[in-house]
Amino acid sequence: MGRRKKGRPISGWIILDKDYDVGSTEAVSKIRWLYQAQKAGHAGTLDPLATGILPIALGEATKTVPYVMEARKTYRFTARWGEATNTDDVEGEIIATSDHRPERADIEDILEDYIGEIEQTPPQFSAVKIKGQRAYDLARAGDEVKIEPRWITIHSLKLIDMPDQDHAIFEAETGKGTYVRALVRDIAEDLGTKGHIKDLRRTAVGPFTQENALTVTDIEKLEGQERDDLIAGLDLALTGLPATSLDGPQAMRIQRGQEAIVSASQAKGIRVDNVGFVETVFATMHGQPVAICSLDGLKLIPVRVFNLVD
């Protein structure tokens, strides 16, 4: 007989507005404790010195984390010109300086070079693994850290404001794996100066936005059902996926890990292009999540099955 899991079998998403100087793992632990949840995880690490959107999955919603990790992310951040730090943010030691301060026109001219697919070398102090160890652990130990550049995608990058000659405020929409600290570092170098991140806020992760975000304080103010009512449905993470509704027998087969056969009209309704290729399908029954599936012809094949408890 298996061991009974500790905690409540609750599922869904908390759209957390993470505070400054709080680690992502620490934030997840706090939310899991507040809800006494059996399982919790986050969708995309946010630096301790950054604030903003950290989607936290509870229970069965953890099965949808990989789909959120692939989503676009939006950041608002301030660059500090004239100083480079070893961490590429305000907490690091200054390792180089420059008297040059870029003009607005020079900054706007260079931004196009950073839109699209570009190569980026992550910061020395980052969670990138090097021979099984985190880069930040090696850097803190004083070891030489050699990180290979990687391809990332910047969907948009705008200069929002220049409050003074030392600072510039930007907004960027990025793909997976982008380090905004490295983005500021590289832009500064191309502008003939040095730079680092002064502050960083993530305003959106896919469908999760700051308009619906909650702080830990917001959650702590409520108890019982009122606190539970703050949990968003796990299906929010799957917004935009092709979806289909199953009948009872189809849903039972899927929930047992078996293939279900759909009608030709059902399959046609799922198709999203002329080729008919669908990578993932969100299957429901009476509006309730059943599984994430793939579609092969008329066969619906379960990939991740949800075991929800009423």
3-state secondary structure (DSSP) of residue 238: helix
CATH of the domain at 20: 3.30.2350.10
Same domain, 229 and 247: no
Question: Is 194 within the bounds of a domain?
Answer: yes
Residues annotated catalytic, as ranges: 47
Same domain, 190 and 269: no
Q: How confident is the model at residue 139 (pLDDT cuts 50, 70, 90)?
A: low
CATH of the domain at 249: 2.30.130.10
Question: Is 41 within the bounds of a domain?
Answer: yes
> What is the 8-class DSSP label of residue 107?
H
Same domain, 175 and 231: no
Same domain, 127 and 28: no
Instruction: Classify burial at 284, counting beta carbons within 10 Å of its beta carbon; exposed 0-12, middle 13-18, buried 19 or more.
Output: middle
Same domain, 186 and 161: yes
Same domain, 212 and 183: no
Question: Is 127 within the bounds of a domain?
Answer: yes
Same domain, 106 and 172: yes
Mean pLDDT across 143-160: 89
For residue range 15-43, list pLDDT tens digits in order: 999 999 999 999 999 999 999 999 999 99
The pLDDT value recorded for residue 297 is 86
197 contacts 77 by C-beta, under 8 angstroms: yes
On the question of pLDDT at 298 being above 80, the answer is yes
Same domain, 187 and 246: no
Question: Is 93 within the bounds of a domain?
Answer: yes
- 309 versus 47: the higher-pLDDT residue is 47
Q: How confident is the model at residue 142 (pLDDT cuts 50, 70, 90)?
A: low
Mean pLDDT across 297-302: 91
Same domain, 189 and 78: yes
Mean pLDDT across 106-121: 96
On the question of pLDDT at 274 being above 50, the answer is no
Distance CA 18, CA 25 (A): 11
Percentage of the residues of the chain whose pLDDT score is greater than 90: 74
Question: Is 7 within the bounds of a domain?
Answer: no
Q: How many CB atoms lie within 10 A of CB 49?
A: 18
On the question of pLDDT at 1 being above 60, the answer is no
On the question of pLDDT at 131 being above 80, the answer is no
Question: Which of 29, 13, 23, 65 lies closest to 46 in space, CA to CA?
Answer: 23
Our count of domains for the chain comes to: 3
The pLDDT value recorded for residue 225 is 96
Enclosing domain of residue 259? 241-305
The pLDDT value recorded for residue 143 is 67
Q: What are phi and psi of 276, to 5 degrees?
A: 90, 5
Question: Is 310 within the bounds of a domain?
Answer: no
Same domain, 166 and 226: no
Same domain, 184 and 79: yes
Q: Which two tokens stand for residue 179?
A: 């380090």
Question: Is 197 within the bounds of a domain?
Answer: yes
Q: Which residues pair with 94 in a beta bridge?
A: 85
**HSE-up (13 A, CA, CB side) for residue 42:** 22
Distance CA 292, CA 134 (A): 32
The pLDDT value recorded for residue 268 is 76
For residue range 175-227, list pLDDT tens digits in order: 999 999 999 999 999 999 999 999 999 999 999 999 999 999 999 999 999 99
Same domain, 92 and 55: no
